């Protein structure tokens, strides 16, 4: 027995020594390599192994070198006597008061009032009641379409079977109402809602790039490589695969989105550049209480 304990003690010392070597290795790697050549693997191995060797040493101590007898103890019991004393003490507060209800009511009211006052500054966080910003888009009749570097989009340069992202000229591209998808489709294939005639000059269509489901960018263009499987192009959101039909005014073809992708009416100006002919067909972004069909 004593022999085996000696052996365990020796093992513990050896494990600690190896851990020391690992720790020094970590310091050495850190000091020796420049940031761009730093081998992250060696850092992880040296520090990780240092910790694991100390862990092993402590495990040997815990299992072999300290008393390991299982002991017994009582589970705690209830204290009915103390409970009664607590109840009594709680009652003692009201023993002198005659109109408990009134005091309690007034106190609670004061507490609520203080709470309301203390919470009021929270209103500065954002325009809670003024939800108009949620409906805002920079698009209106005459705004030119520009690409990511700010150059205007010419109608002649919009190729078929290609996916373009465009923004309103001079506006903040990060605004959720800004980015749109522009596609050039076969004008004869378009089946737009009746009230949107003239929105798609030469078959060029534009939709909000923000998915109406959860607000991701509709960043995928399903271009049919195998016409027998999927006949026509579609716009797909990579987050939850809501799929919108650019031929029918952005209606939902597939996936969880609950309403169509808002469409932007287009026109071509005398220079041949694409311009918005108005605002979107519906409010952009994920649905919420006040998303109506037509923006006001």
Q: Is 35 in the site for another protein (CB under 8 A)?
A: yes
Task: Work out which of 219, 232, 268, 278 binds another protein, going by CB under 8 A.
Answer: 219
Rounded to a whole number of angstroms, the distance between the first and last alpha carbons of the chain is 88
CB of 98 to another protein, least distance (A): 37
Single out the residue of 10, 17, 24, 48 in contact with another protein (rule: CB under 8 A).
Answer: 48
> Which of 29-37, 109-117, 196-204, 272-280 is the region at the interface with another protein (rule: CB under 8 A)?
29-37
Do residues 195 and 265 touch, judged by C-beta distance below 8 A? no
- Select 91 or 129, whichever has its Cβ closest to another protein: 129
| Segment lying near another protein (by CB under 8 A), choices 43-51, 87-95, 107-115, 151-159 | 43-51
Residue number with CB closer to another protein (154 or 163): 163
Q: Is 42 in the site for another protein (CB under 8 A)?
A: yes
Write the burial class of residue 281 (CB in 10 Å: 0-12 exposed, 13-18 middle, 19+ buried). buried
Give residues 100-129 in contact with another protein (rule: CB under 8 A).
122-123, 125-129
Residue 153 touches another protein, criterion: CB under 8 A: no
A 10 A CB-CB count for 57 gives 19
Are 235 and 243 spatial neighbours (Cβ–Cβ below 8 Å)?
A: yes
Residue-by-residue DSSP string for 39-69: -HHHHHHHHHHHHHHHHHHHHHIIIIIS---
Site string for another protein, 260-279 (x = CB under 8 A): --------------------
Q: Which of residues 224-243 bind another protein (CB under 8 A)?
A: 237-242
> Is residue 198 left, alpha or beta, with left meaning phi > 0 and alpha meaning psi from -120 to 50?
left
Give dist(CA 285, CA 64) in Å, integer. 64
């Amino acid at each position: 027995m004593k022999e085996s304990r000696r052996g365990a003690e020796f093992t513990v010392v050896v494990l600690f020594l190896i851990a020391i070597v690992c720790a020094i290795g970590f310091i050495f790697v850190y000091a020796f390599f420049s940031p761009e050549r730093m081998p992250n693997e060696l850092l992880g191995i040296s520090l990780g192994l240092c910790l694991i060797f100390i862990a092993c040493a402590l495990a040997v101590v815990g299992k072999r070198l300290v008393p390991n007898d299982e002991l017994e103890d009582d589970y705690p019991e209830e204290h009915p006597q103390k409970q009664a004393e607590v109840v009594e003490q709680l009652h003692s507060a009201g023993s002198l008061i005659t109109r408990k209800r009134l005091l309690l009511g007034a106190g609670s009211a004061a507490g609520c009032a203080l709470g309301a006052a203390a919470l009021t500054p929270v209103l500065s966080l954002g325009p809670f009641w003024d939800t108009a910003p949620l409906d805002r888009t920079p698009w209106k009749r005459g705004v030119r379409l520009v690409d990511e570097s700010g150059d205007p989009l010419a109608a002649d340069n919009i190729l078929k079977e290609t996916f373009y992202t465009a923004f309103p000229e001079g506006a903040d591209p990060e605004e959720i109402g800004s980015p749109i998808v522009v596609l050039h489709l076969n004008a004869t294939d378009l089946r737009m809602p009746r009230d949107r005639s003239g929105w798609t000059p030469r078959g060029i269509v534009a939709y909000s790039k923000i998915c109406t489901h959860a607000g991701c960018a509709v960043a995928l263009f399903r271009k049919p490589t195998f016409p027998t499987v999927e006949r026509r192009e579609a716009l797909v959101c990579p987050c939850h695969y809501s799929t919108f039909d650019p031929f029918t005014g952005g209606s939902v073809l597939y996936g969880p989105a609950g309403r169509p992708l808002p469409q932007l009416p287009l026109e071509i100006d005398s220079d041949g550049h694409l311009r918005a002919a108005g605002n979107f067909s519906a409010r952009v972004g994920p649905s919420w209480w006040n998303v109506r069909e037509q923006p006001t």
